[in-house]
């Protein structure tokens, strides 16, 4: 099997900067289930990393660990050189999409405002500086026209734009996105992924993007973190999304087909879950 490095040739600037996120030998297990074992990961400013893998392999748990909501079983996790704590203003988070319930009294602009003031309860919500920033963010996510509407009355795509606005409102250094394209039509998938990508390009925000389907973001991705079977691989999409790499991880023949700029993974076991983790060779920043 070919080696899967952690570096990416097209990101020379990012590679020289201090990492926004650094994980060393990070392990998460629940009972005897190992979700990921001795994960080494540096995420550089402006890097776009897709987090892939079947259900239940620990993708959301990884985001929760970074958010300080889930303790590691062992290892370390640093955000901008410091141990993570809950509620960091340096992190923007787009949680897995749930439609907002009818009757929720918030307007779209209130959610974006919370993205700024939620960290600082003392600041008056009506301050002109906050209002200006909220207007800017609403405009940047194309939501000005429905800013005053109750969020529950908006379509799924409109709600998702507002969630992106809320997550980027405070200019985080790291944006964590948990399946942000789920249940969106192709057009809205494009709109939402472009919004996230524009943000990382404009402000060098690092992006960790959990998704079941890499295709809508394939042209944006610098590296892939693939989780399966308590094992993981980190590398460029070309390095990781290969038949031999995924067959090894799944422990069964899996075929990766590339056609017309899209990637399809065939033969991954149905309902695949976590099995005993494979023995790893540990190297700096990657596993094989």
Ligand X SMILES: Nc1ncnc2c1ncn2[C@@H]1O[C@H](COP(=O)(O)OP(=O)(O)OP(=O)(O)O)[C@@H](O)[C@H]1O
Binding footprint of ligand X on the chain (CB under 6 A): 30, 35, 53, 55-61
Helices (H) and strands (E) in the chain, counts: 8, 14
Least Å from the CB of residue 176 to ligand X: 12
CB of 4 to ligand X, least distance (A): 20
CB 162 within 8 A of CB 122: no
Contacts of 139 (CB under 8 A, 6+ apart): none
Buried b (16+ CB within 10 A) or exposed e, 44-77: bbbbbbbbbbbeebbbbbbbbbbbbeeebeebeb
Quote the crossing angle between the two packed helices 156-168 and 128-140, to the nearest 10°. Answer: 130
* For ligand X, the closer CB: 6 or 53: 53
- Quote the least distance from Cβ 209 to ligand X, whole Å: 13
Of the two residues 5 and 73, which places its CB atom closer to ligand X in the complex?
Answer: 73
**Residue 30 CB contacts under 8 Å (≥ 6 apart), including other chains:** none
Nearer to ligand X, 73 or 153 (CB): 73
CB-based contacts of 79: which residues, under 8 Å, 6+ apart? 20, 21, 66, 88, 90, 91, 173, 174
60 or 243: CB nearest ligand X: 60
Min dist. Cβ of residue 156 to ligand X (A): 18
C-beta of 287: minimal distance to ligand X in Å?
17
> What CA–CA distances, in Å, run from 158 to 14, 84, 211, 271?
32, 31, 19, 32
Closest to ligand X by CB, 165 or 229? 229
According to DSSP, residue 99 is labeled: P
Distance CA 272, CA 252 (A): 11
Q: Which is nearer to ligand X, 14 or 84 (CB)?
A: 84
User: Measured from the CB of residue 70, what is the shortest distance to ligand X in angstroms?
Assistant: 7
Sign of CA dihedral 115, 119, 122, 128: negative
CB 40 to ligand X: min, Å: 19
| DSSP assignments along 214-253, one per residue | -GGGTTT-SEEEEEETTEEEEE-HHHHSSHHHHHHHHTS-
Q: Pick between residue 62 and residue 130 the one whose CB is nearest to ligand X.
A: 62
């Amino acid at each position: 099997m070919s080696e899967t490095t952690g570096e990416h040739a097209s990101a020379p600037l990012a590679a020289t900067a201090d990492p926004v996120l650094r994980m060393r030998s990070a392990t998460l297990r629940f009972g005897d289930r190992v979700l990921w074992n001795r994960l080494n990961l540096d995420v550089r400013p402006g890097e776009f990393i897709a987090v892939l893998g079947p259900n239940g392999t620990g993708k959301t748990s990884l985001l929760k660990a970074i958010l300080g909501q889930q303790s590691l079983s062992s290892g370390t996790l640093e955000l901008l050189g410091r141990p993570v704590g809950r509620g960091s203003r340096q992190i923007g988070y787009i949680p897995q999409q749930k439609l907002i319930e009818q009757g929720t009294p918030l307007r779209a602009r209130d959610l974006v405002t919370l993205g700024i003031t939620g960290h600082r309860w003392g600041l008056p919500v009506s301050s002109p500086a906050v209002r200006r920033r909220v207007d800017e963010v609403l405009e940047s996510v194309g939501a000005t026209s429905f800013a005053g509407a109750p969020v529950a009355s908006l379509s799924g795509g409109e709600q998702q734009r507002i969630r992106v606005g809320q997550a980027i409102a405070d200019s985080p250094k790291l944006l964590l996105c948990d399946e942000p394209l789920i249940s969106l039509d192709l057009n809205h998938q494009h709109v939402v992924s472009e919004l996230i990508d524009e943000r990382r390009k404009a402000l060098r925000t690092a992006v960790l993007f959990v998704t079941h389907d890499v295709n809508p973001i394939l042209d944006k991705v610098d590296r892939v973190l693939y989780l399966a079977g308590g094992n993981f691989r980190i590398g460029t999409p070309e390095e990781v999304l290969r038949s031999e790499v995924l067959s090894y991880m799944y422990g069964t023949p899996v075929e990766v087909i590339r056609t017309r700029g899209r990637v399809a993974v065939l033969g991954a076991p149905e309902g695949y879950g976590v099995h005993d983790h494979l023995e790893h060779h540990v190297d700096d920043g990657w596993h094989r």
